[in-house]
Amino acid sequence: MIIRGGAIGPPPFCFNGGSKRDMTSAPILDIRDIHKDYGSYQALKGVSLSVRQGEFIALVGPSGCGKTTLLKQIAGFEDATSGTISIDGRDMAGVPAAHRPTSMVFQKLALFPHMTVAENIGFPLKLRKVAQGEIAARVNEMLTLMQLKPIYLDRFPRALSGGEQQRVALARSMISSPKLLLLDEPLSALDVKLKKVLQSELKRLHRSVGVTFVHVTHDLEEAMMLADRICVMRAGHILQLGEPADIYYRPADAFVAGFIGETNLFPVEITSRAKGRVRYSAGSFDDASGELPEALVAEAAQGAALMNVRPELIRRIGPEDKVDCRVTARVTEVFTKGGTVQYRAHTSQGMDLAVEIQGTSRLPMEVGEEVHLGWNKKDIWVLPGGEP
Amino acid sequence: MEQGVGKSWRDPELLWKALPSVLLQTTCFVAPLVMTFLLTFQRTRDFQLRWTWDLATWTDVFSKPHYWTILGHTLVMALACVAICLVLAFPIAYGLATRFKTLENEIKILVTFAFITDATLKTFGWVLFLDKKGAANYLLTGLGFPPEMVSFLFTDWATLLGMVYNLLPFAIFTLYLSIDSIDRNLIFAAYDAGASKWRAHWEVTLPLCKPGIFAGSVLIFLLGVGVFLEPKVLGGGTSPMSAELIRQTFETRVNWPLGAALTFVLMVVSVFLVLLFSRVLGMRRSGFGA
C-alpha cells in the first residue's frame, strides 16, 4: 500500500520528465474557443488550450470525446467551424496542412506501401525539393535517431515489424523538423510489451529533440507516463488540464476521477466553508461528520459532494487503530495483480469499494471476512457531486 | 510465399487437392488451345478438312501483309480504346469513390446495370443517334448548327466511340475499386508531409491505383482486341478488325486452319503486349502482392 508522506502538493514520484521548460515565452500552440460541427453533431464545443514550447501534452478521453477531431484541426486536415488556432504566434486560419509546421503520426501509421523505407522517410524533404544527397544524409540521421538498422532502407514498410514501422513513421514525421509533432494514438495497436518499449522511446525522443508533442491517447497510464500535462476531454469539452499528479490526485469531477483509474467516491454533504476549514457530514462511512482543510476540497464543491479516495490509499486497520476516516466492510472478491492485491468490499452503508494493498502486507484479507478499513484525510480530495 | 511454391511439387496432398482444378483447366482451356494449334498444320479442300501436317497455312499467314495490316489496325484501335477509357474513367471513378461516398450503393448498382445491359442494343442505339438523319444531327440543326454536323458514322471513329462506350464500365469499376481501397489517411499523410493536392495525387493516389489501372487496361485491351459488333454496326464493316476477319475465315471461307492460325497470332501478340505492359507498370515491384 502506498502511504504518501506530507500534504497534497508535489507527489512523491516525479511524473513530468524532470526538465524545466520555459514558462514565460509565448505558447507554441494557442487554441482559442474552437468549435467543430459535423452537420448537427457538435464534436468540439469551445475548446481552448495553450501549449508551451517543448511541452509533451496528452489529450485523453473516451472515444468520441473530440480528441482526434481537435488534432485534425491542429494538423489542418479540417477547418474549424469557429475559433482560432495559432502555431508559433501565427494564425493558422486558411493555411492548408501542407504549409503548417506540424507533423502527424497516424494511428495506423499511414506509411506509403509503394515506397521503400528510405523513400517514406525522405518523402517530406523530396516535396520540399531538397537535393538528393542531402535527403540521403538526413534519412540516415533519422535512422540513427530512431535506432533503425540501415538494411531496412530498401525494404517496403510491410516487410517490417510493427515496432519498426512505428519508428519509420516517427522518422518520417521528424525529418522535416516540425514545430509540433501530433501523435494520433500511434501505439494503440501494439502489444503491451512493445508498447512499453516505444513509450520510453517516445519519451527519449521528446527529450532529445525538444519538439513540442501533442499526443492523443485513450490509455491513461500512457498519458501519465509520457506527458508533462494531461488534458482530459469529454463530449467536446476539456474537463481538466493539469499535470498528471494533479489529474490523478485532484480530479475536477467524478468523470475525471473515474476515467483516470479506479477510485472510490464517497458521497458527502458540505455543511460549511469558513476560515480555510470545510465541514462535512457523511452517511457513506462510519464517521458522521468531519472537517477538512480547504486545500483538499475543490472550489466548485458545494452541498452534495464526493470524497475521492484512491484504492491504494485505503488500508486495513485494527478496531483500535487511529485513522481519520473508517468504514466496516465485507470482502467480496480478491484479485492478485502481481505486486499488489486488489479487493472488492461491500460496506455496511451499501457501497462497493475497491481496495489495493501491497502483496507483502502483513494483514491479508479473505473473501467473506468482515474488516475495518481506513484512510487519512491528507490523502483525499473532495470534488463536486452530481453528474457532470 | 516462396517456400510454399517450392514445397508444393513434393507434397502429394497438395497435388491431390489441385487435381480437380487441373482437370478442369486441361479439358476446358489447354486442350482446345492445343487442338487449335494442331489445326493450323492442316488444310481444307472442297470445304473438307484434310489432315496434311504441313506449313502451308503458316506460309500463307506470313506472306500476306493484308492479315498483318488488320492485326495492326486492331491493336491500334484496342490501345486507343484503353487510353481513352482510362482518361475518362479516372476522374469518374475518383469522384465516385471520394466525393459521393453517401451514394456508394446506388453507384454500384448503376455501374452493374451498365455491365448487364446488352451491348448489341446499346450499339444499335448509337446508329440511331449518329445517323445523318439521326437524333444528334436533328438536335444540332434545331439549335442552329449547319446540317449534318455529325457525319462520322461508318468510320473508325464511330467504331472507337462504340468500343469506348461499351468498355468504359470495366475501367470505371476496376479503378473505382482500387481508389476506394486506398486508405484516406495516406492522402492526409501526403498533405501533412507538405504535398499539394496534385502532388499527393501524383505521388500517392496514382501509384496506389496501379493494380486497378493494370486490371482495367488488360480487361479493356483484351476485350477491345476481340470486338466484332462495333466495327460491323458502327464502322459499317469498311475496315474489318481481327475478330471479324477470323469469323469470316471460319464461317464464310470455311478455312479452319487459316482461322486457327490467325487466332493464334492474335492471341500471342495480345499476351505479349499484356506482359510488356505489366513490366512497364512495374507490377512485379514488391509494393504489390506479387
Q: Edge to edge, what strands does the sheet with A381-384 contain?
A: A289-293, A277-282, A264-274, A304-309, A381-384
Nearest Cα residue in chain B from A122: B193
Residue B280 has pLDDT above 60, yes or no: yes
Nearest Cα residue in chain B from A99: B194
CATH number of domain containing B208 = 1.10.3720.10
The residue type at B121: L
**Cα–Cα nearest to A305, from A272, A347, A352, A338:** A272
Whats the size of chain A, residue-wise?
A: 388
Residue A56 has pLDDT above 90, yes or no: yes
Domain contains B111: yes
Question: Which of the pair, A16 or A205, is modelled with greater confidence?
Answer: A205
pLDDT at A350: 84
Residue B21 has pLDDT above 80, yes or no: yes
Q: Edge to edge, what strands does the sheet with A102-105 contain?
A: A102-105, A180-184, A212-217, A56-60, A229-234, A237-242
Measure in Å the smallest separation between the Cα of A41 and chain B Cα atoms: 17
Domain contains B22: no
Residue B289 has pLDDT above 60, yes or no: no
- How many CA within 13 A on the CB side of residue B281? 23
Most confident residue range from B45-49, B105-109, B162-166: B162-166
CATH classification for the domain delimited by A29-249, as one of 1.10.1330.10, 3.90.1150.10, 3.40.50.1220, 3.40.50.300: 3.40.50.300
- Contact across the interface for A110 and B199, Cβ inside 8 Å: no
Measure in Å the smallest separation between the Cα of A45 and chain B Cα atoms: 24
Measure in Å the smallest separation between the Cα of A157 and chain B Cα atoms: 9
pLDDT at B69: 93
Residue B268 has pLDDT above 50, yes or no: yes
All three cell numbers of A16: 513530468
- Contact across the interface for B208 and A176, Cβ inside 8 Å: no
Complex-level ipTM beyond the 0.85 threshold: no
- Percentage with pLDDT > 70 across chain A: 92
Nearest Cα residue in chain B from A74: B192
pLDDT at A10: 37
Nearest Cα residue in chain B from A98: B194
The answer to whether the beta carbons of residues B82 and B74 sit under 8 Å apart is no
pLDDT at A14: 35
Residues from chain B that touch A142, judged by Cβ atoms under 8 A, are: none
Residues from chain A that touch B203, judged by Cβ atoms under 8 A, are: 112, 123, 127
| Average pLDDT, integer, range B124-153 | 84
Nearest to A127 among B188, B199, B287 (CB): B199
How many domains would you assign to chain B? 1
Domain contains B31: no
Domain with CATH 2.40.50.140 in chain A: 263-384
- Contact across the interface for B194 and A128, Cβ inside 8 Å: yes
Q: Which segment of A244-253, A319-328, A343-352, B242-251 scores lowest on mean pLDDT? A: A319-328
pLDDT at A362: 63
Residues from chain A that touch B210, judged by Cβ atoms under 8 A, are: 114
**pLDDT tens digits, one per residue of A256-309:** 888 877 888 888 888 888 877 888 888 788 877 788 888 888 877 888 888 888
Confidence band, pLDDT 50/70/90 cuts, at residue A18: very low
Range of the domain at B219: 64-281
- Buried/exposed code over B94-109 (b: 16+ C-beta within 10 A; e: otherwise): bebbeeeeeeeeebee
Q: Which fold has domain A263-384?
A: OB fold (Dihydrolipoamide Acetyltransferase, E2P) (2.40.50)
B191: left (phi over 0), alpha (psi -120 to 50) or beta: alpha
Residues from chain A that touch B196, judged by Cβ atoms under 8 A, are: 98
Nearest Cα residue in chain A from B187: A110
pLDDT at A15: 36
**Cα–Cα nearest to A288, from A260, A314, A326:** A326
pLDDT at B284: 57
| Average pLDDT, integer, range B189-210 | 92
| Average pLDDT, integer, range B99-103 | 81
Nearest Cα residue in chain A from B188: A77
- Contact across the interface for B287 and A172, Cβ inside 8 Å: no
User: Which of the 8 DSSP states describes residue A153?
Assistant: G
Nearest to B193 among A77, A113, A123 (CB): A123
Residues from chain A that touch B195, judged by Cβ atoms under 8 A, are: 98, 127
Backbone angles phi, psi at A235, to 5 degrees: 45, 45
Chain mean position to CA A10: 17
Residue B99 has pLDDT above 60, yes or no: yes
Domain contains B195: yes
Interface of A with B (CB under 8 A): 75-77, 96-99, 102-104, 106-108, 110-115, 123-124, 127-128, 156, 159, 172, 176
| Average pLDDT, integer, range A148-157 | 90
Best residue of A116, A127, A138 to probe chain B, by most B CBs closer than 10 Å = A127
Residue B163 has pLDDT above 90, yes or no: yes
- Contact across the interface for B192 and A97, Cβ inside 8 Å: yes
- Contact across the interface for A114 and B185, Cβ inside 8 Å: no
The residue type at A148: L
Residue B6 has pLDDT above 60, yes or no: no
Q: How far apart are CA A258 and CA A204, in angstroms?
A: 30
Residue B4 burial by CB count (10 A; 0-12/13-18/19+): exposed, middle or buried? exposed
Nearest Cα residue in chain A from B207: A114
Nearest to B185 among A108, A115, A128 (CB): A108
Measure in Å the smallest separation between the Cα of B2 and chain A Cα atoms: 14
- Percentage with pLDDT > 90 across chain A: 32
**pLDDT tens digits, one per residue of B65-98:** 999 999 999 999 999 999 999 999 999 889 888 8
Concatenated DSSP letters for chain B?
-HHHHHHHTT-HHHHHHHHHHHHHHIIIIIHHHHHHHHHTT-EEETTEEE----SHHHHHHHH-HHHHHHHHHHHHHHHHHHHHHHHHHHHHHHHHHHT-GGGHHHHHHHHHHHHHS-HHHHHHHHHHHHSTTSHHHHHHHHTTPPTT----TTSHHHHHHHHHHHHHHHHHHHHHHHHHTS-HHHHHHHHHTT--HHHHIIIIIHHHTHHHHHHHHHHHHHHHHT--HHHHHTSTTSS--HHHHHHHHHHTS--HHHHHHHHHHHHHHHHHHHHHHHHHHTTTSTTS--
Nearest Cα residue in chain B from A116: B287
Domain contains B270: yes
- Contact across the interface for B192 and A114, Cβ inside 8 Å: no
pLDDT at A302: 80
Q: Which segment of A33-42, A132-141, A353-362, B170-179 scores lowest on mean pLDDT? A: A353-362
**pLDDT tens digits, one per residue of A177-209:** 999 999 998 888 788 888 888 898 899 999 888
Domain contains B243: yes
- Which residue in the block uniquely carries the three cell numbers 466548485? A300
Confidence band, pLDDT 50/70/90 cuts, at residue B9: low
| Average pLDDT, integer, range A98-126 | 92
Element (H, E) at A56: strand A56-60
Residues from chain B that touch A172, judged by Cβ atoms under 8 A, are: 193
- Contact across the interface for B193 and A102, Cβ inside 8 Å: no
Q: What is the CA angle A183-A217-A352, rounded to 5? A: 170
Nearest Cα residue in chain B from A182: B192
| Average pLDDT, integer, range B233-261 | 88
Strands A180-184 and A212-217: parallel
- Contact across the interface for A104 and B189, Cβ inside 8 Å: yes
Domain with CATH 3.40.50.300 in chain A: 29-249
- Contact across the interface for B191 and A112, Cβ inside 8 Å: no
Nearest to A156 among B188, B203, B287 (CB): B287
The answer to whether the beta carbons of residues A376 and A324 sit under 8 Å apart is yes
Nearest to B194 among A75, A98, A110 (CB): A98
Residue B178 has pLDDT above 60, yes or no: yes
Nearest to B286 among A75, A127, A156 (CB): A156
Confidence band, pLDDT 50/70/90 cuts, at residue A147: confident
Confidence band, pLDDT 50/70/90 cuts, at residue B285: low
**What pTM was computed for the model?**
0.77
| Average pLDDT, integer, range A223-236 | 91
Residue A5 has pLDDT above 50, yes or no: no
Residue B246 has pLDDT above 80, yes or no: yes
All three cell numbers of B29: 482451356
Domain contains B47: no
Measure in Å the smallest separation between the Cα of A244 and chain B Cα atoms: 30
Q: Which residues contact residue B278 at a Cβ distance below 8 angstroms, ignoring those fewer than 6 apart?
A: B214, B284
Residues from chain B that touch A114, judged by Cβ atoms under 8 A, are: 207-208, 210, 285, 287-288
Element (H, E) at A221: helix A220-226
Q: What is the mean pLDDT of chain A?
A: 85
Q: How far apart are CA B174 and CA B210, in angstroms?
A: 10
| Average pLDDT, integer, range B246-258 | 90
